[in-house]
């Protein structure tokens, strides 16, 4: 039979693992679109501004050129989350 200390450690571990399992993943939201609009970034009009799919799913959210740029910018800045105001310095590639 486990001791009280072992049981407490097991419970604490379970709470941490459980909270991580149910935490929402980092992903685009309507709040990001709203923030972009408030910042005057006209290029962001819908999910497809950064994603390939019209309505990206949690497990299928391929990024287009602008979305890939934002993801790289997040890594470059070592930021926890994407900040859509970074798009003020984004230059789209020339049209083909």
Q: Has residue 2 been placed in a domain?
A: no
Q: Has residue 15 been placed in a domain?
A: no
Q: Which domain holds residue 45?
A: 27-89
Q: Has residue 79 been placed in a domain?
A: yes
Indicate if the alpha-carbon torsion angle 15, 21, 27, 30 is positive or negative: negative
The three-state secondary structure class of 80 is coil
Domain count, the chain: 1
pTM: 0.67
- pLDDT digits (tens), the chain, 96 positions: 666 555 545 544 444 444 334 434 445 688 999 999 999 999 999 999 999 998 888 888 899 999 999 999 999 999 999 999 999 999 998 887
- In contact, 24 and 74? CB cutoff 8 Å: no
């Amino acid at each position: 039979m486990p001791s009280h200390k072992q049981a407490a450690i097991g419970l604490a571990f379970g709470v941490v693992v459980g909270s991580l399992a149910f935490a929402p993943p980092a992903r685009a939201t309507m709040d990001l679109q709203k923030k972009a609009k408030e910042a005057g970034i006209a290029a962001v009009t819908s999910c497809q501004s950064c994603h390939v799919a019209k309505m990206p799913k949690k497990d299928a959210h391929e990024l287009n050129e602008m979305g890939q740029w934002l993801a790289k910018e997040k890594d470059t800045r070592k930021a926890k989350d994407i900040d859509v105001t970074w798009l003020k310095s984004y230059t789209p590639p020339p049209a083909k």
